């Protein structure tokens, strides 16, 4: 069971501090979500080539940084270096020093990202397929799907016969969890999508009092893996603060032709955009209920692209069906709709996807794109082809 994480607003002094940090693009909007971190004494650098890698390593070591890891990200054409900061050095100081030493580097703190789903008891019937107008017996998947999430229980009855390739992107033992299994079950439900192969990237290797969390570094590694495997459609049912390391990784992944679909988040209508949904290159998904009303905790803003069922959705991913709510569970409905659409097989830009969603959605708010519903309710009517 995963609960939406409620973050407090930052006071002005903390906002100024984090703006100087260079990792959070904080704006003076109606609400700002405070970012938390994974490994607070760590700093991460992304560099473009071998010379920059050598220069960064030499500069860091000479200043007393401890090298924790160096990983070549072939899918993103980057190298990731992870350092432990010397005692007394702050995050802003580390970022400024390392970026000054190697100007081609992007250096940042390892922000944390949270799941965006809540399980609950409900009496609502399974309305999602009818509302989205899915064809009876579903549509054929036009390619594999990446799921960057928790672990996936491949033995779950809802995934019987579905090929799931999994990999973890953190140290320690990977444990399947309900959230990733729920997302996979929505994607692989044969009433929506048939013949789908899922690449499950488990990025949630840490936990605190607020629940499971994934570091920005794990997300970067997962995107690199999916890019190398040429998995074009990627579902990200998670959200967190702006992070320039993740920004660069998303930019590289999108340039490689990946279509990223992410939950807008459950922090309420008065906060600034959460990420990765807030990036221009990502399809941002919000949630509505069976009456087409907006989920009350959904983040809003001009970045919202599309809406899908996400309130009291019946998910049969465990040993018995249960109802779940959140923008997390709305996201795989949109991902499935994109993967089923033969007109998007050759799509190489997020603009192509947005144009297609705009042309095939049901208007829920004002004409055109609006900050609550985006282009409206995603529809799967007549998209499957033969």
Nearest to 99 by CA among 91, 108, 107: 107
End-to-end Cα distance, the chain: 39
Cβ-based burial of 192 (10 A; exposed 0-12, middle 13-18, buried ≥19): buried
Task: Give dist(CA 314, CA 231) in Å, integer.
Answer: 27
In CATH terms, the fold of domain 114-360 is Rossmann fold (3.40.50)
Helix (H/G/I), strand (E/B), else coil: 83 = strand
Vertex 122, ends 121 and 126: CA angle to 5°?
125
Q: Which tokens go with 237?
A: 């049912």
Q: Write down the pLDDT at residue 38.
A: 58
Helix (H/G/I), strand (E/B), else coil: 2 = coil
Helix (H/G/I), strand (E/B), else coil: 296 = coil
Q: Which tokens go with 212?
A: 């499971």
Identify the sign of the CA torsion 365, 367, 373, 378: positive
Tens of each residue's pLDDT in the chain, 386 residues: 333 333 333 333 323 222 222 333 333 333 444 455 555 678 999 999 999 999 999 999 999 999 999 999 999 999 999 999 999 998 899 999 999 999 999 999 888 887 765 554 434 447 899 999 999 889 999 999 999 999 999 999 899 999 999 999 987 777 777 899 999 999 999 999 999 999 999 999 877 777 788 899 999 999 999 999 999 999 999 999 999 999 999 999 999 999 999 999 999 999 999 999 999 999 999 999 999 999 999 999 999 999 999 999 988 766 667 888 999 999 999 999 999 999 998 887 899 999 999 999 999 988 889 999 999 999 999 998 76
Q: Write down the pLDDT at residue 117.
A: 59
With respect to CATH, is domain 40-108 assigned 3.90.1150.10?
no
Per domain, the residue ranges of the chain are 40-108, 114-360
Please provide the DSSP assignment of 129-185 as one string.
HHHHTPPTT-EE-SS-EEEEESB--TTSGGGTT-EEEEEE-SSS---B-HHHHHHHH
Radius of gyration of the chain (CA): 20
The neighbouring-strand residues paired with 214 are: 113
Task: Give dist(CA 196, CA 190) in Å, integer.
Answer: 9
Task: Give dist(CA 26, CA 261) in Å, integer.
Answer: 23
């Amino acid at each position: 069971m995963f609960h939406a994480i409620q973050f407090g607003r930052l006071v002005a002094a903390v906002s100024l501090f984090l703006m100087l940090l260079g990792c959070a693009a904080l704006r003076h909007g109606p609400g700002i979500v405070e970012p938390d971190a994974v490994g607070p004494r760590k700093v991460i650098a992304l560099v473009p080539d071998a010379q920059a890698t050598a220069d960064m390593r030499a500069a860091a070591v000479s200043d007393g940084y401890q090298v924790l890891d160096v990983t070549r990200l072939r899918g993103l054409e980057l190298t990731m270096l992870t350092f432990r900061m010397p005692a007394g050095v702050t995050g802003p100081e580390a970022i400024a020093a390392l970026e000054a030493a190697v100007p081609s580097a992007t250096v940042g703190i390892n922000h944390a990202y949270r799941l965006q789903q809540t399980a609950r008891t409900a009496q609502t019937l399974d309305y999602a397929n009818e509302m989205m107008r899915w064809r009876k017996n579903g549509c054929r998947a036009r390619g594999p799907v990446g799921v960057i999430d928790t672990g996936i229980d491949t033995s779950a009855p809802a995934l019987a016969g579905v090929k799931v390739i999994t990999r973890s992107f953190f140290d320690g033992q990977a444990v399947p969890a309900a959230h990733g299994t729920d997302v996979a079950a929505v994607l692989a439900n044969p009433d929506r999508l048939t013949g789908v192969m899922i690449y499950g990237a488990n990025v949630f290797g840490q936990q605190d009092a607020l629940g499971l969390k994934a570091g920005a570094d794990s997300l970067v590694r997962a995107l690199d893996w999916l890019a190398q495997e040429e998995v074009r459609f990627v579902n990200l049912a998670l959200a967190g603060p702006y992070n320039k390391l993740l920004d660069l990784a998303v930019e590289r992944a999108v340039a490689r032709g990946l279509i990223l679909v992410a939950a807008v988040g459950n922090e309420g209508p008065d906060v600034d955009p959460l990420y990765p949904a807030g990036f221009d290159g990502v399809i941002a998904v919000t949630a509505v209920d069976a009456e087409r009303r907006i989920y009350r905790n959904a983040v809003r803003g001009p970045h919202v692209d599309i809406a899908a069922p996400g309130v009291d959705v019946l998910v049969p991913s465990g040993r018995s069906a249960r109802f779940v709510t959140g923008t997390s569970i709305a996201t795989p409905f949109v991902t499935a709709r994109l993967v089923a659409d033969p007109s998007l097989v050759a799509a190489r830009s997020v603009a192509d996807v947005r144009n297609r969603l705009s042309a095939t959605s049901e208007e829920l708010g004002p004409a055109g794109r609006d900050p609550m519903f985006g282009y409206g309710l995603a529809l799967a009517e007549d998209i499957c082809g033969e």
